[in-house]
A and B are shown apart, each in its own frame.
Chain A
Amino acid sequence: EVPLVESGGDWVQPGGSLRLSCAASGFTFSNSWMNWVRHTPEKGLELLANMGPSETQKYYVDSVEGRFTISRDNAKNSLFLQMNSLRVEDTGVYYCVRDLEHGYYDYWGQGTLVIVSS
């Protein structure tokens, strides 16, 4: 069983929106810190947003603050990333990861590809 499975990646025009989902299984999702990490040709690997077990624990990198929103549904073992005002430079592979301790990522999803292009 794969612990994390992302979905929702697609091609979208600049200025558009996408919602990524991550389905978790095989561990106690509700107690876990969960992150969205992306890989782009320009910046390599980059932590975009992370979220603790509580709705009040959400943090973002400056480049996506105000455009992206991380959320979770603990009842459905799911993590989400709502992405608005997408830019060409947001093109990349988006990973859902479990963060055990300050960047110790023990689980990675397979990734979902987002292409922002006109």
Chain B
Amino acid sequence: IVVTQSPLFLPVTLGQPASISCKSSQTLVHSNGNTYLHWFQQRPGQPPRVLIYKVSYRASGVPDRFSGSGSGTDFTLRISRVEAEDVGIYYCMQGRDWQTFGQGTKVEIK
């Protein structure tokens, strides 16, 4: 399954919303009924960490300004109000068939 993110570069204004799209080449609905699409954030100099799992579940410790939505093959990560600490690279990843990552979206402050 190929996972494609857009945009690959996202300049954002502090306090403004931002969104990243993730599209998969096949449905991510597993035979068990779950949809395995996850979002990860990688801040500069750090390993990635999970933000959102199974489309819309916020991981422990993740601020509520982050949200995930979507179904089937189209998914979106939204940041309601961007903060300086949100700078980094964001990856979506599908886990329905093996696990494959999107190319990453680099978020920078304008």
Contacts and interface: CB of A to CB of B under 8 A. Distances in A.
Interface of A: 35, 44-47, 59, 61, 95, 100-106, 108-111
A47 B49 contact: no
A102 B47 contact: no
A111 B95 contact: no
Nearest to B60: A106
B40 A102 contact: no
A45 B30 CA distance: 22
Contacts of B43: none
B50 A102 contact: no
B7 to A, nearest CB: 15
A47 B94 CA distance: 11
Contact of A102 (B30, B59, B60, B101): B30
Contacts of A106: 50, 59-60
Contacts of A110: 47
Nearest to A102: B95
B38 A104 contact: yes
B25 interface: no
Given A102-B36, A103-B94, A106-B59, A47 B47 contact: no
Interface in B40-77: 40, 47-50, 53-54, 59-60
Interface centre among B40, B93, B94 (most CB of A within 10 A): B93
B80 interface: no
B91 A45 contact: yes
A105 B30 contact: no
B6 interface: no
Given A44-B103, A109-B47, A102 B91 contact: no
Contact of A104 (B30, B54, B91, B104): B54
Given A35-B99, A106-B60, 15 more contacts: A45-B93, A45-B101, A46-B101, A47-B99, A47-B101, A61-B98, A101-B34, A101-B95, A102-B36, A103-B93, A103-B95, A103-B99, A106-B50, A106-B59, A108-B48
